[in-house]
Amino acid sequence: MPKYHLLSTNAKLEKSNHGKDYLTTGLSLAPHSLSKVANVCESATPQCRRVCNLWFAGRTVTKSVRAAMIRRTRMLFEDSERFYDLLRADLAKFVGYCERLKLSPLFRPNVASDLDWSNLAAEFPTVQFYDYTKVRSRVERIRRGRWPSNYELTYSVNEQSHHRTIGAYLRAGFNVAAVFDTDYFPQIGRIGELPDEWRFDGREWPVIDGDKHDMRLREIDGQGVVVGLRFKGSRKRMQAAIDNGFVFGVN
């Protein structure tokens, strides 16, 4: 993999590169307002902020990784022209690298943020963009055909999501991501089973395992499915998230 100014990978993104025709990279900014310069997650809920997987789990608990995420975020808002010049150069380099490997470029611009990158997606039509989002207006823009066709979104269910909204998205063929209290301790080989189905808006919807890879594309996941994610973090944080409705309890 070439050296990039802003793009990076992580353990979950790396799963996308195993036996697939895609090569994946991402942009990791500091979540919500942790950079102290701006809020990059406009629809972040209180529970989302308290248990953010991209701050309290994996390599993001290290000082060096967190410092890099904060540095990128500060550049975006304090020197945006330089940021976008570097980002466009990185993406062009990534596309060239994928072409040499005969792989399709896959880019997650919001590894830990929730910004609108639709204009950038339109600039790079050969790159498949994808993200999780809590911003409902973006899902509505897709429904109205006002969103780049190379930018797929999965709606991220949270404690403020209404079941009828979730059901409406699923019925329209969108996918939604939900977090469950299923065990996730890969370091000791203990990864629990997710439920086969989950009930939203009076109907059972199929659940797929969203921890097997990070490629949230409907051609891979299917349509109208719940992307099941296991909670990553301490038991104490998980119990608080269950009590507040952010995590669904199955055990």
pTM of the model: 0.91
pLDDT at 57: 56
SS3 83: helix
Indicate whether 1 belongs to any domain: no
Compute CA distances 93 → 22, 97, 127, 214, whole Å: 15, 6, 12, 22
Indicate whether 130 belongs to any domain: yes
Indicate whether 37 belongs to any domain: yes
Indicate whether 2 belongs to any domain: no
Identify the CA nearest to 60 among candidates 134, 111, 116.
111
pLDDT in tens, 127-185: 999 999 999 999 999 999 999 999 999 999 999 999 999 999 999 999 999 999 998 87
C-alpha 7/C-alpha 120 separation (Å) is 14
Q: Which two tokens stand for residue 235?
A: 């038991």
Phi, psi of 151 (to 5 degrees): -130, 100
Indicate whether 146 belongs to any domain: yes
Identify the CA nearest to 150 among candidates 115, 107, 116, 112.
107
Helix (H) / strand (E) containing 118: helix 118-123
For residue 76, give its domain range: 7-248
pLDDT in tens, 11-42: 566 666 555 689 999 999 999 989 999 999 99
Work out how many domains the chain is built from and give that number.
Answer: 1
Indicate whether 138 belongs to any domain: yes
Indicate whether 162 belongs to any domain: yes
